[in-house]
Amino acid sequence: MEPTISRSIDVPADPGTVWSWVTDLPRMGELSPENIGGRWLDGTGPALGARFRGRNVNGELRWWTRVRVVRFDEGRRFAFDVRTPLGSRVSRWEYVLAPSPVGCRVTENWYRSGSWVVRRFMGPRVTGRADRPGYNVGSIEHTLAALKARAEERAAAA
């Protein structure tokens, strides 16, 4: 399955460090323009099959999602499916990490899934975003830039 949106960036940090950042979903709000964190429901933290409740915001609109980790290749690939509180499929998010000359190449992929009812009616009403793919292009670029900035700040402080 090809991602709906895919963007990459080179981050000046080792893949293990970047892995710890992209799998720390409770702190994803520090990187994302829409997600404000959440909590692991199983008490396990990131692992294959782990469940997470994500929290999101757009202005006055606030909503939560059900998340399940569907791919967990330590240090290389992390993916999770997102569903509405009612259980309808929404999307899959994926991070792919690979060593690069500057440290780590991070690719963030977004896969659109779910029914047209969710995409056309429920999603825009709940999130306030009529053009979810258009918004997610900027969201992914923001998140990747925040990862790079975090790595640069830590390198400068060292």
Phi, psi (deg, nearest 5) at residue 107: -115, 125
Burial 29-59 (b: 16+ CB within 10 A, else e): bebbbbbebbebeeeeebeeebebbbbbeee
CB atoms within 10 A of CB 127: 19
Residue 158 predicted with pLDDT over 90:
no
Residue 65 pairs in a beta bridge with 54
Q: Which pair of tokens denotes residue 143?
A: 């998140």
Residue 96 confidence class, pLDDT cut points 50, 70, 90? very high
- The predicted-structure confidence for 1-57, as pLDDT tens digits, reads as follows 789 999 999 999 999 999 999 999 999 999 999 999 999 998 889 999 999 999 999
Residue 38: strand, helix, or coil: strand
Q: Domain extents for the chain?
A: 5-157
- The predicted-structure confidence for 123-156, as pLDDT tens digits, reads as follows 889 999 999 999 999 999 999 999 999 999 998 9
Superfamily of domain 5-157: START domain (3.30.530.20)
pTM: 0.95
> How many secondary structure helices (H) and strands (E) does the chain include?
4, 7
Which residue from 56, 144, 61, 52 is spatially nearest to 97, judged by alpha carbons?
A: 144
